[in-house]
Amino acid sequence: MARNKFDVDERLETPFDFKHFKRAMVYVKRYKWKMILALSLSAISAIVALIGPLLTKEAVDVAIPDGNIPYIVFLSIGFLLSIIISVVLGNIRQRIMTKAGQLMIYDIRKDLFAHLQELPFQYYDDRPQGKILVRVVNYVNNVSDMLTNGIINFILEIFNLIFITIFMFSVDARLALVIFAGVPVFIVVMIILKNKQRRAWQGVSNKNSNQTAYLAESINCMRVTQSFARENENLGIFRRLSTAYRKAWMKAVTVNNFVSFSVDNIRAVVDSALYFVGLLVIGYPAVSLGSILAMSNYSSRFWQPIINIASLYNNFVNAVAYLERIFETMDEPVDVKDAEDAYEMPDIKGEVEYRDVTFAYEEGKNILENVSFTVKPGESIALVGPTGAGKTTIVNLLSRFYDLTGGAVYIDGNDISKVTLHSLREKMGIMMQDSFIFSGTIEDNIRYGKLDATEEEIRAAAKTVCADEFIMGLENGYKTEMYEGGSQLSGGQRQLVSFARTLISDPKILILDEATSSIDAKTEKELQKGLQELLKGRTSFIIAHRLSTIKNCDKIMFISNKGITEAGTHDELMAKKGDYYKLCMAQK
Q: What is the C-alpha to C-alpha distance for residues 133 and 203, in angstroms, rounded to an integer?
A: 18
173-180 vs 289-330: helix crossing angle, rounded to 10: 40
Q: Give the residue from 483, 481, 516 showing the smallest Cα distance to 498.
A: 516
The three-state secondary structure class of 432 is: coil
What Å distances lie between residue 382 and 234, 385, 496, 514, 529, CA to CA? 41, 10, 20, 11, 17
Asked whether 307 and 258 are in contact (CB, 8 A), the reply is: no
The three-state secondary structure class of 356 is: strand
Q: What is the C-alpha to C-alpha distance for residues 497 and 527, in angstroms, rounded to an integer?
A: 12
Model pLDDT, residue 2: 43
Q: Is 180 left (phi over 0), alpha (psi -120 to 50) or beta?
A: alpha
Contacts of 561 (CB under 8 A, 6+ apart): 389
Could you tell me what percentage of the chain is helix, strand and coil, using 3-state DSSP and rounding each to the nearest 5? 65, 10, 25
Model pLDDT, residue 10: 60
Domain 18-330 has CATH 1.20.1730.10: no
Amino acid at the residue 371: V
Model pLDDT, residue 355: 93
Q: Give the residue from 55, 299, 99 showing the smallest Cα distance to 180.
A: 299
Residues facing residue 539 across a β-bridge: 509
Cβ-in-10-Å burial (0-12, 13-18, 19+) of 146 comes to buried
Model pLDDT, residue 354: 93
Asked whether 347 and 412 are in contact (CB, 8 A), the reply is: no
Contacts of 58 (CB under 8 A, 6+ apart): 75, 290
Give the Cα-Cα-Cα angle 433, 358, 387 (nearest 5 degrees).
35
The three-state secondary structure class of 57 is: helix
Asked whether 574 and 581 are in contact (CB, 8 A), the reply is: yes
Q: Give the residue from 112, 92, 98 showing the smallest Cα distance to 31.
A: 98
Contacts 24+ apart (CB under 8 A), 72-78: 78/51
Asked whether 395 and 373 are in contact (CB, 8 A), the reply is: no
Parse the chain into domains and list their residue ranges. Answer: 18-330, 338-427+553-588
Residues facing residue 430 across a β-bridge: 511
CB atoms within 10 A of CB 248: 21
Asked whether 371 and 357 are in contact (CB, 8 A), the reply is: yes
What Å distances lie between residue 312 and 17, 35, 323, CA to CA? 19, 17, 15
Phi first, then psi, for residue 67 (nearest 5°) are: 65, 30
Local structure of residue 419 (DSSP, 8 states): B
Q: What is the C-alpha to C-alpha distance for residues 535 and 412, in angstroms, rounded to an integer?
A: 18
Burial pattern 296-330, b for ≥16 Cβ within 10 A else e, equals bbbbebbbbbbbbbbbbbbbbbbbbbbbbbbbbbe
Distance of CA 172 to the CA centre of its chain: 54
Model pLDDT, residue 503: 80
Structural fold of domain 338-427+553-588: Rossmann fold (3.40.50)
Residues facing residue 360 across a β-bridge: 366
Phi first, then psi, for residue 540 (nearest 5°) are: -135, 140
* Per-residue tens of pLDDT for the chain, all 588 residues: 444 555 555 655 455 556 767 777 788 888 888 878 887 887 788 778 777 777 777 777 777 877 788 888 888 888 888 888 888 888 888 788 778 878 888 888 888 888 888 887 777 777 777 777 777 777 787 777 677 767 777 777 787 788 778 877 777 777 777 777 777 877 787 777 767 777 787 788 778 878 887 887 777 777 677 767 778 888 888 888 889 889 988 888 888 777 777 777 887 787 777 777 766 667 666 666 666 777 777 777 777 777 777 777 767 766 776 777 788 888 888 778 888 888 998 888 889 999 999 998 877 788 899 999 999 998 889 998 888 888 888 988 998 888 888 999 999 999 999 999 888 888 888 777 666 788 788 888 888 878 888 888 888 888 887 788 888 888 888 888 887 677 778 777 787 888 788 888 878 888 887 766 656 666 666 666 656 666 677 898 988 777 767 888 889 999 988 889 999 888 888 898 888 888 888 766
Local structure of residue 478 (DSSP, 8 states): G
